Amino acid sequence: MKHTISTLTALLLCSSSFAADWDGLPVPADAGSGNTWQLQSNVSDDFNYSAPANGKSAAFYDRWSEGFINAWQGPGLTDYHNPNSRVENGELVIQATRKPGTNQVYTGAVHTNDSIQYPVYIETSSKIMDQVLANAVWMLSSDSTEEIDIVEAYGSSRPDQTWFAERMHLAHHVFIRDPFQDYQPKDAGAWYADGRLWRDQYSRVGVYWRDPWHLEYYIDGQLVRTVSGVDMIDPYGYTNGNGLSKPMQIIVDAEDQDWRSDNGIIATDADLADSSKNQFYVDWIRVYKPVPDANGGGDNGGDNGGDNGGDNGGDNDITSSVDFDSFFATGKDGSAVAGDSVNGFNPSGNGNINYNTVGDWAEYSINLPEAGEYRLELDTASTVSTGLGADISIDDVFVGTVAISQTGGWESYQTFSLANTINIGAGTHTLRVQSAGSSPWQWNGNAIRMVKVGEGSSNNQTTTPTPSEMISLEAESFNSTGGPYDGFQTYTQSGITATNYNQRGDYAEYTLSVPTAGNYNVSAIVATPESGAAMTLTLNGNALVSLDVPSTGGWNTFTEVNASGAVALPAGTHTLRVTSSGNTANTWEWNADRFIFTPQ
């Protein structure tokens, strides 16, 4: 069934010789420069055929087999039962029923005949059942040592299960089977929530398994989570340094999981007998691999507009670039604009951002291999005729405004440059781009570039100073941590190291060096999907200031929050304690990247 395509689109597709349910839905992940996405038809299925519970059809067996990938019958009280899976009305249906005469649960399970391996994008459209059971679309290696979960969700409407019903578990596992060891990331970001109840609608969930050390998770076409690097993929070396590297088969099933049933969270006879509650619907599964584009390369975040400014006297061939959607923090300064429901920049696929209104900003890490004179370029697109611009700051220092003009379309990208070049040192820098101008709606962004044009001899350049008064304190640089939940932990994602596992009452202590006494504004770069989070700062044991931390939409969606007033800081070296002090519903508070003290 075509739950994700409009009626008009569906009618148009009927005129072609073949139309899949996902036609018209672009792959949201970036295939890479010069690549395009190629459908893997042997493991993709829109289930537009029939396969009864008993005696499936040839169309089904062409891609799928019943049961698990081996003789295992499932976790906990699960008993995989072939008649509990079927294909009807354009959907794969996984049903859960009571195994007669027992406390076990019959559930369906199917798996692909073929395996897939990175780089690969896997996405499904599905609607979970109203049960305490897990609904799952996942991948597993043949030796059961590497696992990537695409959908893992628990949809029960029981009042005590609301927290789970609001979340999608986005995780992976690496195992040692003998003696048994299991690692999965347990940061709070693994439990994604955006306000929906997952049982109430069909949702698109996808994973880009880019390489053994990098996973990207997408919900309804939007990037919501990135897990990257050894510390997040396999910190204990269970894969012997290989990461998630083995071919895997796709599995669709429902499960009673013992970590739930052992704690009394058990499916009832009434729930299992209710056909409105006991069926997991999978509308489609699609799989793509990035392949070289025979036509010379796809969109994929190119510059779409040329150099637009010459080489300014240098032929250095050094360009550092980042996609606009690869920010590590985003937010908004000023009032919201009518019609803009996104706080900050919104990733829209292929490296782009949209929903950018005046005051929206994002911060990026950009690495310059050599010191020298650089030209900053932005690839942007807009239908707005006047009042467009972008304020640029590097390492918390404002360096100028890029004048941006109308391009004729929201996807018609052109390159605009900062008027002055920038004299800057080698290394990794924090680049902040903030929309500026008189127009409420601003521009879409595609790419940011720093192009080396000289060795620093230009007379028309801005030298990036090192601020002597602004104090930036990395959240992970604490001297000690503690609290009722054992304090903060640290993690690294997309090149950004931050603190996590922070629950109410947890704290960390830092050394704060203040070069000059005075009044300072206090802010923090933080992320949380929770409502009601907050932090309290003390200096040398004395109350300093409190900051409310509103929901940013995700554990890795960092934004800047500000204290309501300035604080007086004496010069010298001090002990700063930061304590989580909110009233969230489940005690989880916030992740933090850094704390900033800016002199008035």
Residue-range domain boundaries for the chain: 7-291, 319-463, 471-599
- For the segment 7-26, the average pLDDT, to the nearest whole number, is 55
The confidence score (pLDDT) of residue 11 equals 30
> Is residue 444's pLDDT more than 70?
yes
pLDDT at 572: 84
Residues in the chain: 600
Give the pLDDT confidence of 359-411 residue by residue, as tens digits: 999 999 898 888 888 999 999 999 888 889 999 988 877 788 899 999 888 88
Q: What is the mean pLDDT of residues 215-219?
A: 97
Residue 455 is predicted with a pLDDT of 79
Please check the confidence at residue 567 and state whether its pLDDT lies above 60.
Answer: yes
What mean pLDDT, rounded, does the chain reach?
A: 87
Q: Which CATH number fits domain 471-599: 3.90.226.10, 3.40.50.2000, 2.60.120.260, 3.40.50.300?
A: 2.60.120.260
Does residue 462 carry a pLDDT above 70?
no
Please say whether the beta carbons of 327 and 448 come within 8 A: no
> Cα(42)–Cα(57) distance, rounded to whole angstroms?
16
pLDDT in tens, 545-563: 999 999 988 888 888 999 9
- The residue that leads in pLDDT, 173 or 303, is 173
Local confidence band at 294 (pLDDT 50, 70, 90 cut-offs): low
Q: What is the pTM of this model?
A: 0.52
| Strand arrangement of the beta sheet that strand 397-403 belongs to | 329-332, 360-368, 427-435, 389-394, 397-403
Q: Percent of the chain having pLDDT more than 70?
A: 90
- Tens digits of residue pLDDT in 51-101: 999 999 999 999 999 999 999 999 999 999 999 999 999 999 999 999 999
Return the amino acid letter for 327: F
- Burial tier of 446 (Cβ tally within 10 Å: 0-12, 13-18, 19+): buried
Residue-wise pLDDT tens digits, 251-260: 999 999 999 9
List residues bridging with 376 in a β-sheet. 450
User: CA–CA separation, 373 vs 421, rounded Å?
Assistant: 6
Q: Is the pLDDT assigned to residue 348 strictly greater than 70?
A: yes
Q: What confidence score (pLDDT) does residue 204 get?
A: 98
Q: What is the mean pLDDT of residues 245-268?
A: 95
50: number of CA atoms within 13 Å, CB side? 4
Structure confidence at residue 207 as a pLDDT band (50, 70, 90):
very high
Would the pLDDT of 312 be above 70? no
Looking at residues 432-453, what average pLDDT do you find? Answer: 92
How many other β-carbons are positioned within 10 Å of the β-carbon of residue 443? 29
Please give the CATH superfamily to which domain 319-463 belongs.
Galactose-binding domain-like (2.60.120.260)
Report the C-alpha gap between 360 and 97 in whole angstroms: 50
pLDDT band at 10 (very low <50, low <70, confident <90, very high): very low
Residue 317 pLDDT more than 70?
Answer: no
92-116: average pLDDT: 97
Q: Is the pLDDT of residue 176 over 70?
A: yes
Q: Please give the pLDDT value at position 456.
A: 64
CATH assignment, 7-291: 2.60.120.200
Task: Give the C-alpha separation, 183 to 176, whole Å.
Answer: 9
Tell me how far apart the alpha carbons of residues 243 and 117 are, in angstroms, rounded to a whole number: 12
Q: How many CB atoms lie within 10 A of CB 159?
A: 7
Q: Supply 579's token pair.
A: 């304590």
Q: Do domains 319-463 and 471-599 have the same CATH topology?
A: yes
Question: Does the pLDDT at position 227 exceed 90?
Answer: yes
What's the pLDDT band for 578 if we cut at 50, 70, 90? very high
Contact 598, 520 (CB under 8 A): yes
Which residues have a catalytic role annotated? 147, 152
Residue 460's pLDDT is: 47
d(CA 173, CA 161): 24
Rounded Cα gap, residues 41 and 575, in angstroms? 60
- The CA-based angle 5-8-14, given to 5 degrees, is 85
pLDDT value, residue 494: 59
pLDDT at 163: 95
* 3-state class (DSSP) for residue 224: strand
Whether the predicted pLDDT of 2 surpasses 50: no
Instruction: Give the separation between CA 487 and CA 546, rounded to whole angstroms.
Output: 19
3-state secondary structure 378-436: EEEECCCCCCCEEEEEECCEEEEEEECCCCCCCCCCEEEECCCEEEECCEEEEEEEEEC
Q: For residues 81 and 96, is the Cβ–Cβ distance under 8 A?
A: no
Confidence (pLDDT) at 469 = 65
Task: Report the pLDDT value the prediction gives residue 154, as an integer from 0 to 100.
Answer: 98
| Cross-strand partners of 520 | 567, 599
Q: Which tops the pLDDT comparison, 226 or 542?
A: 226
Task: Write the single-letter amino acid at 463.
Answer: T
pLDDT at residue number 466: 41
What pLDDT, on a 0 to 100 scale, did the predictor assign at position 517?
Answer: 78
Per-residue pLDDT at 324: 94
339 is written with which tokens? Answer: 């019609």
Mean pLDDT of 301-326: 53
Q: Is 484 left (phi over 0), alpha (psi -120 to 50) or beta?
A: alpha
- For residue 559, the surrounding DSSP H or E stretch is strand 559-562
Contact between residue 428 and residue 450 where contact means Cβ atoms under 8 Å apart: no
pLDDT band at 168 (very low <50, low <70, confident <90, very high): very high
What pLDDT score was predicted for residue 91?
A: 98
549 neighbors 590 (Cβ within 8 angstroms):
yes
Whole-number Å distance between alpha carbons of 125 and 584: 31
The phi, psi pair for 381, rounded to 5°, reads -145, 140
Mean pLDDT is highest, among 104-108, 404-408, 434-438, 489-493, for 104-108
Residue pair 363/345 in contact by the 8 Å Cβ criterion: no
